[in-house]
Amino acid sequence: MNEFLTQEKSIYLQISEMLENDILRDILLEEERVPSTNELAKLYSINPATAAKGINILVDSGILYKKRGIGMFVTSGAKDMIKAKRKADFYDNYIVTLLREADALGISKKELADMIVKENPKNEYK
Amino acid sequence: MNTNRSTNMVLECKHITKKYKNESVLKDINLTLESGKIYGLIGRNGAGKTTLLSILSAQNPATEGTVTLDGKEVWENQDVLDNICFSRELNPSQGTGSIAGLRVKEYLRIASIYYPNWDQAMADHLVKEFDLDIKKRMSKLSKGMLSMVTIIVALASKSQYTFLDEPVAGLDVFMRDKFYKLLIEEYSETGRTFIVSTHIIDEASMVLEDIIIISKGELLMRANTEDLLARTFHVSGKSEDVEGAVAGLSVYREETIGRSKGVTVILKENQQINRNYDIDIQPVSLQNVFLALCDDSKEK
């Protein structure tokens, strides 16, 4: 929760991603309360409406749920949900840009594959 | 957000025009400001920001047009004005006029009488937060210290509609950070409505829910900050590629060097950049949106 915000991306998306990162890294545990909209707003000096928007994305996707009068909590199974979602985005976010840059530099498919294998001695991605 | 607030007031200005002799300072400004938001008022020096705030708070009469709060005229209406605080910018160069000889303590005391919902405990707390010497005379304060006084009056007034004119001018980066945190804290707790004018745009952009941009006395843009930033981009690449990609879009700040070109585009609903061209697309900061909109270098 203590990353810096950048101007490169919508603030509410950064807020929801930071919460996701914290869940993936066990900084926030499942069934644990997450910081409130106002706490996040004050921590990052952002408008509470923006913080609420970031939290609401996670509520809509079922990663957080609301306990009336208490606050927002991490859903059981949230970690797996985040992983599944990010896997689905992986192609668009990483592979497409990787291939685009490789193409611009004239790196062949074979060279690219070799690089990936070399980077992983255990040949996990062979 | 802030659904627990009981007030749903609306501050409305219709066809506001202000002329000083033959010079039009404000031209037909129409704005509807719902309560419970933090608004940013942005404009270049002399754009008319202070004049607009002074008219909204009935400290200055409009040449034409009306300002109403919940349908009631603001002008010479004390019941309505009890809900509005315009904490003016104070400048050392002006010698701060009639208040120059006052001590900070006395100035705050006058404010406490003037604003019916004044919160003395909050004022005392803020004086400590800012480490302000209230025995000093107003004329002896630096610009930054005068800004602190402006902020204290605004926050402690507890007015439903509170306008701050350049509250961070002269404040160092720590004090600016402190101000934004105090503002967000007060806003979160009370849902009061704030209009904040500032030249330090990017720093404030994350705090401002809506922004109002005025230029040469005219309303140029009123938008939700997040939404505006989400549809504004900088497009760059080879000139002909950029031109192809942004054809038909609202293009600002064209810059060319050699074969390369960079432009800012603000997309309207259902518009998009043509990504079939080999171009780079980057998000832009609010300051860059402002520069794009208020760039008059092309006007010749």
Q: pLDDT (tens digit, 9 = 90+) per residue, B18-30?
A: 999 889 999 999 9
Alpha-carbon gap: B227 to the closest alpha carbon of chain A (Å): 9
What residues of A are in the B interface, CB distance below 8 Å? 5, 7-12, 37-38, 41-42, 44-50, 52-53
Residues on chain B touching A38 (C-beta within 8 angstroms): 188
**Do A69 and A19 belong to one domain?**
yes
User: What does the DSSP assignment read for B87-106?
Assistant: E----GGGTTGGGTTSBHHH
- Kindly determine whether residue A10 and residue B1, on different chains, have CB atoms separated by under 8 Å: no
- Kindly determine whether residue B206 and residue A5, on different chains, have CB atoms separated by under 8 Å: yes
Please say whether the beta carbons of B67 and B39 come within 8 A.
no
Q: Give the residue-averaged pLDDT of B244-253.
A: 94
Indicate whether B95 pLDDT > 70. no
Residues on chain B touching A8 (C-beta within 8 angstroms): 282-283
Q: Residue B101: its pLDDT value, please?
A: 84
**Do A70 and A93 belong to one domain?**
no
Q: Give the residue-averaged pLDDT of B126-146.
A: 93
pLDDT band with cut points at 50, 70 and 90 for residue B97? low
The 10s digit of each residue's pLDDT in A13-51 is 999 999 999 999 999 999 999 999 999 999 999 999 999
**Do A16 and A69 belong to one domain?**
yes
Q: Give the residue-averaged pLDDT of B229-242.
A: 95
Q: Give the residue-averaged pLDDT of B187-201.
A: 95
Q: Does B281 touch chain A (CB under 8 A)?
A: no
pLDDT band with cut points at 50, 70 and 90 for residue B1? very low
* Residue A27 placed within a domain: yes
**Do A90 and A70 belong to one domain?**
no
Q: Give the residue-averaged pLDDT of B119-134.
A: 96
Indicate whether B7 pLDDT > 90. no
Report which DSSP code applies to A34.
P
Q: Does B185 touch chain A (CB under 8 A)?
A: yes
Q: How far is it between the farthest Cα atoms of chain A?
A: 58
Number of domains within chain A: 2
Q: Residue B199: its pLDDT value, please?
A: 93
**Do A92 and A114 belong to one domain?**
yes
**Do A27 and A63 belong to one domain?**
yes
**Do A61 and A87 belong to one domain?**
no
Q: Give the residue-averaged pLDDT of B169-197.
A: 95
Indicate whether A93 pLDDT > 70. yes
**Which of B184, B225, B230 has the CB atom closest to A41's CB atom?**
B184
pLDDT band with cut points at 50, 70 and 90 for residue B245? very high
Residues on chain B touching A49 (C-beta within 8 angstroms): 1, 37, 209
* Residue A108 placed within a domain: yes
* Residue A95 placed within a domain: yes
* Residue A70 placed within a domain: yes
* Residue A126 placed within a domain: no
* Residue A4 placed within a domain: no
Here the ipTM equals 0.82
Q: Residue B8: its pLDDT value, please?
A: 77
- Kindly determine whether residue B184 and residue A5, on different chains, have CB atoms separated by under 8 Å: no
Alpha-carbon gap: B134 to the closest alpha carbon of chain A (Å): 28
- Kindly determine whether residue A46 and residue B1, on different chains, have CB atoms separated by under 8 Å: no
Q: Residue A2: its pLDDT value, please?
A: 67
**Do A26 and A63 belong to one domain?**
yes
* φ/ψ (deg, to 5) at B284: -125, 160
Q: Residue A123: its pLDDT value, please?
A: 58
The range of the structural domain enclosing residue A88 comes to: 79-119
- CA angle (A65, A69, A73) in 5-degree steps: 25
Residue A44 sits in a domain whose CATH number is 1.10.10.10
Indicate whether B92 pLDDT > 90. no
**Do A68 and A86 belong to one domain?**
no
| Amino acid, res. B37 | K
**Do A36 and A70 belong to one domain?**
yes
Residues on chain B touching A45 (C-beta within 8 angstroms): 177, 180-181, 184, 206-207
Q: Give the residue-averaged pLDDT of A80-88.
A: 93
Please name the residues between 186 and 205 in chain B that touch chain A, using a CB distance below 8 Å.
Answer: 187-188, 202
- Kindly determine whether residue A9 and residue B283, on different chains, have CB atoms separated by under 8 Å: yes
- Cα distance between residue B144 and residue B172, in whole Å: 8
* φ/ψ (deg, to 5) at B205: -60, -30
- Kindly determine whether residue A47 and residue B208, on different chains, have CB atoms separated by under 8 Å: yes
Q: DSSP alpha helices (H): ranges in B18-160?
A: 49-56, 78-81, 104-114, 120-129, 143-156
**Do A15 and A70 belong to one domain?**
yes
- Cα distance between residue B205 and residue A5, in whole Å: 12
* Residue A64 placed within a domain: yes
- Cα distance between residue A7 and residue A15, in whole Å: 13
Indicate whether A61 pLDDT > 90. yes
Indicate whether A1 pLDDT > 80. no
Averaged pLDDT score across all residues of chain B: 91
- Kindly determine whether residue B185 and residue A49, on different chains, have CB atoms separated by under 8 Å: no
**Do A21 and A70 belong to one domain?**
yes
Indicate whether B155 pLDDT > 60. yes
* Residue A2 placed within a domain: no
